[in-house]
Amino acid sequence: MVLSYQEIHAQASSRWQSLTSGDRPWVRVGTALCGEAAGCQEVLDALGSALERHGVDANVSRVGCLGLCFAEPLLDVQFPNGPRIFYGNVTPESVNRIVSVHLSQGTPVAPLALGYLSNPDADVDIPPEGIPNLNLHPMRVLEKRIALRNAGNIDPGDIYQYLAVGGYQALHKALTSMTPEQTLEEVATAGLRGRGGAAFPAATKWRFLSGSNAPVKYILCNCEEGDPGAFNDKAIVESDPHTLVEGILLAGYATGAGHGYIFIRHGHDGPIERAREAVRQAQELGMLGNSIFGSDFDFELEIALTGDSYVAGEETAMMDAIEGGRAMPRFRPPFPAQVGLFGKPTNINNVKTLAYVPEIISQGGEWFAGIGHEQSTGTAILCLTGDLNYTGMVELPMGINLKDVLYQVAGGVPGGKQLKLVQTGGPLGGVLGAEDVDLLLDFEVFRNAGAILGSGGIIAADEDTCVVDLTRALIAFCQYESCGKCFPCRMGMSHLLEVLERICRLEGRREDLALMRTIGENMQAGSLCGHGQLGFNPVSSALRYFGDEFDAHITGRTCPTGRCLETRFSPVQTRR
């Protein structure tokens, strides 16, 4: 028998109380990809052994990414009615001390602690002595968490924890008190724009699908995310997969679609496993299937995988991959809203876009529209990597200055070195010089600066970086990932790479800059999809901000950083 939402929520609240009250401490360990890479499994193994050795009875949960990736593995301890004490860069050796002192005796190990978070349910808020407030850490002080509100706080494998903190409330609200048109209108009022790169208004895209009377329609969620330097889609799916499932359900309800797919790149094991488990649990409790929450809304959701193909993230190539074909873009028109997956009307959105929808429906479109800057409403989820003191993932209101993100949130460049450039928007994005980062997080502002915000990847490079070499590496990636379907992209990328390798070998010609511009113009005009159309962006932006460095390689026969003098360049393996 399928229980009502109220009955399920009551069960979830009871389970949550068992975690946060009573006598047992609650230990949470970050097990997202960043934690896994840093050794969280060894920490978990050591934790289990130490708890048994010291006779400590504790609740242990595997949680997702808190965003402080530089401090992984992360472990936090919370006693009933007490604050959460976070320990960073935890090792199996430090685990024993945390268990023997903090968990056994109730005394936090201040020298090992990264910070604390107050318990909002505690009767009295008493800050632990000698431990800073984690919300005052540079990476958190400016945050406004919407899509990431649960990341690092709940067990992504436990639907009841999601329900206990308000999960599926928005879906219940929409199905019981809103029409599909009203649901779509809230998203329009919010001004939500796609977070996959194009920044197209989500509600407009949904209207293309809702206007179709076809009996079968699809909602696709894009989690291919092959961009170097971007990991926020994967982090959402593996940290809070039910937020995504709920967002997909709301999109299906608003557009009249009854089927959906979450499309994930093969090899992203954490997101894949947690997405599959979230779908299974949602089906078990009646959030997926027929007559959801007693309404006349039916929806089925599946997980689809693709091989290592960056172009599979292009919406029409994604549909070919789901259908079992090779991931290559289709000619348009017809557009997916007319003829999409299996020939049926289809809508495709990015993970981040859909993850905002539950809070938009819960809080209202005007609430979301009140956050951000002009037409760029809401927040930006940024992945900060490269030569920065604090690397990880943050969610910041749109309109914040990129300079503040780099120097305040990320703590600037380590080792006393100077920032030289920032590469934004993935391999098809642009390069900005250090003196040009004084610009707002805004889709139009970034575009006018010759860069794109894209999916949120921000890669910083210090003074030792050779811009020509970095550009060569970006084009090498784009060349290798070209699907080869259209000639302008297939050969254009190869020619760009050949020219850049020649320049890196200090064998460049004066006419090479004009040659690359010609190649880029042909790619933009003739390529079938954005991979080729935007493929010249790294080169054009690098020439715009660092033209003198290209000149030094070509006319001066020298690399100002010495990077190209120290490296023997051999042609990158190409695919044609």
Name the stretches of the chain with pLDDT < 70.
1, 123, 566-576
Residue 250 lies in a domain: yes
Element (H, E) at 342: none
The CATH number given to whatever domain includes residue 446 is: 3.10.20.600
pLDDT for position 448: 86
The answer to whether residues 246 and 313 belong to one domain is yes
Domain finish residue from 437, 462, 487: 462
| Distance (Å) of CA 11 to CA 7, 8, 557 | 6, 5, 71
DSSP letter, residue 409: I
Cite the DSSP H helix spans in 155-298.
159-164, 169-177, 180-190, 202-210, 232-239, 241-255, 269-284
The answer to whether residues 206 and 348 belong to one domain is yes
pLDDT for position 576: 41
**Helix, strand or coil for residue 393?**
strand
Host domain of residue 408: 376-462
Residue 29 lies in a domain: yes
Residue 338 lies in a domain: yes
pLDDT for position 1: 63
Query: Structural domain tally of the chain?
Result: 4
**Pairing mode, if any, of strands 300-306 and 259-265?**
parallel
Residue 141 lies in a domain: no
The answer to whether residues 395 and 340 belong to one domain is no
Domain finish residue from 120, 136, 152: 136
Question: pLDDT tens digit string along 219-237?
Answer: 999 999 888 889 999 999 9
The answer to whether residues 493 and 414 belong to one domain is no
The CATH number given to whatever domain includes residue 364 is: 3.40.50.11540
Q: How many helical (H) and strand (E) elements, i.e. helices and strands, does the chain have?
A: 23, 16
Q: Could you tell me how far CA 338 lies from the centroid of its own chain?
A: 29
Question: pLDDT tens digit string along 188-216?
Answer: 999 999 998 888 999 999 999 999 999 99
pLDDT for position 343: 95
Q: What does pTM read for this prediction?
A: 0.94
The answer to whether residues 200 and 303 belong to one domain is yes
pLDDT for position 575: 47
The CATH number given to whatever domain includes residue 535 is: 1.20.1440.230
